[in-house]
Copies of this chain bind each other. A is one copy, B any other.
């Protein structure tokens, strides 16, 4: 039987967008169950002495990433629009994703990534998050209130600690059978690892 796969994403992360949009289809093909794990990359970047996105710090890498995102979204037929400023703060989105049930989380995550990187919207704006909740069929008022509660904030802090403990240093990442895979590029490898005997 396939092992469950944990999919770690951060809303500020560009490559998490195509990964979030395609992971369920790829997982279904292989009979793999995906657990969606929101976390925050900021504290982990801080550990590494990074005060900003590496795509802003390293100019050539950033220029490449934006062109690469256009190509990837083009191949996947996903809308793409660069949000300004970049990176966006993913804190509110991560808290909301944490507050949601496992069943509601994936649709919300896809809706918020589409707002951010498909339409270039500001995901720190509660109205944008609210619209994504509505699109996902979740109750906006109740979820936004829960997202700001102490237990949800604590749960997100714990998830970030767990990510750090797994050696996660970027997003998206997948963990499966004690193995870590980094990047949208490696989604298939991670899923294949889940079905390895």
Q: Is A61 touching B169 in the complex (CB atoms < 8 A)?
A: yes
Does A67 have its Cβ within 8 Å of any Cβ on chain B? yes
A176: shortest Cβ distance to chain B, in Å?
12
Determine the chain B residues whose CB is within 8 A of the CB of A180 once the complex forms. 64, 67
CB within 8 Å of B: which A158-197 residues: 167-170, 179-183, 185-186, 189
A161: shortest Cβ distance to chain B, in Å?
14
Chain A: number of interface residues, binned into ranges? 20 to 34
Contact flags A56-80 to B (C-beta < 8 A → 1, else 0):
0011110110011001000000000
Does A48 have its Cβ within 8 Å of any Cβ on chain B? yes
Q: Which B residue's beta carbon lies closest to that of A185?
A: B185
Alpha-carbon gap, A185 to B187, bound state (A)? 11
A40: shortest Cβ distance to chain B, in Å?
15
A64 is contacted by which of B44, B63, B182 (Cβ under 8 Å)? B182
Determine the chain B residues whose CB is within 8 A of the CB of A169 once the complex forms. 58, 60-61, 64
A162: shortest Cβ distance to chain B, in Å?
14
Determine the chain B residues whose CB is within 8 A of the CB of A48 once the complex forms. 58-61
Q: Knowing A48-B58, A71-B179, say if A63 contacts B167 (CB, 8 Å).
A: yes
Determine the chain B residues whose CB is within 8 A of the CB of A168 once the complex forms. 60
List 20 A–B pairs whose Cβ atoms lie within 8 Å, in order of A's numbering.
Answer: A47-B60, A48-B58, A48-B59, A48-B60, A48-B61, A58-B169, A60-B168, A60-B169, A61-B169, A63-B167, A64-B169, A64-B180, A64-B182, A67-B179, A67-B180, A68-B181, A68-B182, A71-B179, A183-B185, A185-B186
